[in-house]
Amino acid sequence: MQPTADIISLLRSQSGSFPNREQLVADYVSENLEAVTTIALSDLASNVGVSEPTVIRFCRTLGCDGFRDFKMRLAQNLAVSMQYLTPEDISDDTTAADVLSSHVLGVIIDNLRLLRDQISSEQIDKAADILVKARQIAFFGVGGGSTMVAFDAANRFFRLGIPAQSQSDGYLQRMLSSTLGPEDVVFAISTSGRPTELIHSAAIARQYGAKVISLTHPDSPLAAESDLVIGIEMPENPDIYKPTATRHAFLATIDVIATAVARRMPDQAKEKLRRIRSSLLTLNPPTGRQPIGD
C-alpha cells in the first residue's frame, strides 16, 4: 500500500519551484485548501485562469494520478491536519508556567476521574485471574503511546515473577504469537483498536490457544479478536498541546491490573520484589522506601 502523501507539505516545500502556470495553481490551492477538495476541475482551472491540462500536470507533479486522486489525497490530508493549521488565540497568561501546570494537571485529574467511571471491576478481576496463571505475557503495542504503555506493563509484571516482554515491531509480534500456547497470554494495547499488526497477531495467538486480553476501544476490530476486552473510551482534549487522555488512562489501568494480580499471589510477588531490591543494594544503597529499580 502506498503511503498517504502529505499534500500540504509538498505544496509548501515545492512552492516557487513549480513551472509558472502550475505555480498559479499551487498558490490558489494553498489559499483554498478546503474548497479545493470539492471543486470541479473546470471550476478550478477557471478560477486560477489556466487550462485544465495545466491543473492535471500540477497534480502529477505532486505524484498524483490525476485531479480526482489529488482531491482525494488532499481531503485525507486535511482530515487530520486542520486542527494544526487553524491559528490559535494564545494569550500571555496561558503561557505562564503556573497556569500551564494547573491546566495540564487538571486535564490529567479529569481524565482519571473519567476512567474511574468507565473501568469495570468485573473486567479487572477476569484479567487478573487470567494473568496470574500465565506462563508468560507478551504485551503488544504499536505507535508512540501504546508502545510506551506496553513497555511499562512488561516492566510491572516481570517484577511479580511472571515472565513478561513487550514488542512494538509488527513482524516480531506475529512471530512471537506463533510460538505461544494455552498457558500464555497476549495483552494487546491500542487506543483505536485498528492497527492491522495487532489484530493479526491476536488472531495468530488465539489460533494456537493463547488467551488475548486487549486494552482498547470497546467497539473495535481488536476487541472483536480478543478473549477479554478492557474497554476504555476517552475523549481527547481539543487543545493539541495538552497530554493525550488515553495514555494516562491506560497507564493507570495497567497499574490497577498489576496490583490485582499481585494481591492474588502475595508470597511470590513479595519474594520477587525483595530479590530485586536486594540485587540493587550495591547500586542504590538503602535510604528508606524507594521505587524498585529507580
Question: Among 7-11, 106-110, 255-259, 285-289, which range has the highest average pLDDT?
Answer: 255-259
pLDDT, tens digit, 9 for 90 and up, residues 235-287:
776 666 666 778 889 999 999 999 999 999 999 999 998 898 888 887 777 66
**List of domains in the chain:** 7-83 (1.10.10.10), 101-278 (3.40.50.10490)
Distance CA 261, CA 132 (A): 6
pLDDT at 1: 39
pLDDT at 6: 84
Query: What is the radius of gyration, based on Cα positions, of the chain?
Result: 25
pLDDT, tens digit, 9 for 90 and up, residues 220-231:
999 999 999 999
pTM of the complete model beyond 0.85: no
pLDDT at 21: 92
pLDDT at 242: 66
When pLDDT is averaged across residues 107-123 and rounded to a whole number, the result is 90
Looking at per-residue pLDDT, the higher value among 14 and 165 belongs to 165
The region that residue 161 occupies, defined by phi over 0 for left and psi between -120 and 50 for alpha, beta otherwise, is left
Residue 49 has pLDDT above 50, yes or no: yes
